[in-house]
Amino acid sequence: MRRKVNEDAAYAGPGLLAVADGVGDQPHGDIASRTAITTLADIPFTADPAADLTSGVAEISTRLDDLGREDPAMARMGTTLTAMAWDGYGFTVAHIGDTRAYLLRAGELNLLTRDHTMVRSLAGDERPAEGESAGHPRRSKLVRALQSGAGADADLFRHDAQPGDRYLLCSDGVFMFVEPEEIRETLVRAASPAEAVTRLVDLSTLAGGHDNATCVVADVVAPSREVPREPLLLGSAREPGLLARLTGFGRLARRPARTADAAAR
Ligand SMILES: [Mn+2]
């Protein structure tokens, strides 16, 4: 079974990767996640991605507040957000909720973000919590999200990248149904980000995933390597996934401005 409404939204461009998932226990999660992604896609990123992401998250919060004031049905709508802004050497990561960012480096899968969930806070450390995967009933109970009327309290941190890194951003519809070892193997084996995305979405569907499964996969490549431009694809259970390739590692001093029409719909 899949949700009738896709509550996930995502963006992949040369300077920004982002996945958002509407909060499930409130209506209009699809509008909330889309608001988060389109707001970030509109930001003219500068030499200070941390400041840009901070103001971007604040802007999302303001827009959600405004929508909630205009329509009482949207008064509590919310979304998770995992966004990574590229600066040529690494990422600034903004994260709130239970979408995730993973790094595959030297064959090892590293979780870069920490879920803001009940189960995760009870666990109280960085190790996987009991019942964190396999659809634990309280797993997706969020303790933090970008929510109308609730302020903006996202984690913000810098992460250094290396050529050869492969990054995965995904919604819980992926990691709830695909085991970490399967995610790792898929990222190791896939010849391209596109292949990884397609395979991960397929695996979630095969595992009986009853949630939207959305991925963004990006490779960091050395500046000398010629990288063919691949199309951007939107990914969710039935559709192909999002992908991006980061080019110009260590050379891309400033990101070019993004245009809104590249945003995921
Ligand atoms: Mn979900």
Tell how far the Cα of 39 is from the centroid of ligand 1, in angstroms.
Answer: 20
Crossing angle between the packed helical segments 29-41 and 49-70, to the nearest 10 degrees = 140
The per-residue pLDDT for 24 is 80
Kindly report the pTM of this predicted structure. Answer: 0.82
Tell how far the Cα of 46 is from the centroid of ligand 1, in angstroms.
Answer: 31
The per-residue pLDDT for 265 is 31
The per-residue pLDDT for 240 is 34
The per-residue pLDDT for 194 is 84
Tell how far the Cα of 254 is from the centroid of ligand 1, in angstroms.
Answer: 33
| Topology of the domain comprising 8-253 | Phosphatase 2c; domain 1 (3.60.40)
Q: Alpha-carbon distance 122 to 104, whole Å? A: 27
Tell how far the Cα of 96 is from the centroid of ligand 1, in angstroms.
Answer: 14
Tell how far the Cα of 171 is from the centroid of ligand 1, in angstroms.
Answer: 6
Tell how far the Cα of 212 is from the centroid of ligand 1, in angstroms.
Answer: 6
Q: What is the pLDDT along the chain (265 residues), one digit of tens a residue?
A: 345 677 889 888 778 899 999 998 788 999 999 999 999 988 888 888 899 999 999 999 999 999 999 999 999 999 999 999 988 788 999 999 999 999 999 999 999 999 998 876 666 555 554 444 444 444 568 889 999 888 888 999 999 988 889 999 999 999 999 999 999 999 999 998 888 988 998 899 899 877 888 999 988 877 655 554 443 433 333 333 344 444 333 322 223 333 333 333 3
Taking residue 124's Cβ as centre, other Cβ atoms within 10 Å add up to 8
Contact between 94 and 154 under an 8 Å Cβ cutoff? The reply is: yes
Tell how far the Cα of 141 is from the centroid of ligand 1, in angstroms.
Answer: 11
Tell how far the Cα of 58 is from the centroid of ligand 1, in angstroms.
Answer: 23
Tell how far the Cα of 200 is from the centroid of ligand 1, in angstroms.
Answer: 15
The per-residue pLDDT for 88 is 79
Tell how far the Cα of 251 is from the centroid of ligand 1, in angstroms.
Answer: 36
The per-residue pLDDT for 2 is 47
The per-residue pLDDT for 203 is 92
Pairing relationship of beta strands 215-220 and 242-246 according to DSSP bridges: parallel
Torsion-angle region of 209 (φ positive above 0: left; ψ -120 to 50: alpha; else: beta): beta
Tell how far the Cα of 34 is from the centroid of ligand 1, in angstroms.
Answer: 14
Tell how far the Cα of 229 is from the centroid of ligand 1, in angstroms.
Answer: 29
Tell how far the Cα of 176 is from the centroid of ligand 1, in angstroms.
Answer: 9
Q: Alpha-carbon distance 237 to 244, whole Å? A: 18
- Domain boundaries in the chain? 8-253
Q: Alpha-carbon distance 77 to 62, whole Å? A: 13
Tell how far the Cα of 186 is from the centroid of ligand 1, in angstroms.
Answer: 20
Tell how far the Cα of 22 is from the centroid of ligand 1, in angstroms.
Answer: 7
Contact between 85 and 56 under an 8 Å Cβ cutoff? The reply is: no
The per-residue pLDDT for 242 is 42
What are the Cα distances from residue 87, in Å, to 45, 112, 194, 246?
10, 17, 23, 10
Tell how far the Cα of 223 is from the centroid of ligand 1, in angstroms.
Answer: 35
The per-residue pLDDT for 155 is 95
Tell how far the Cα of 1 is from the centroid of ligand 1, in angstroms.
Answer: 13
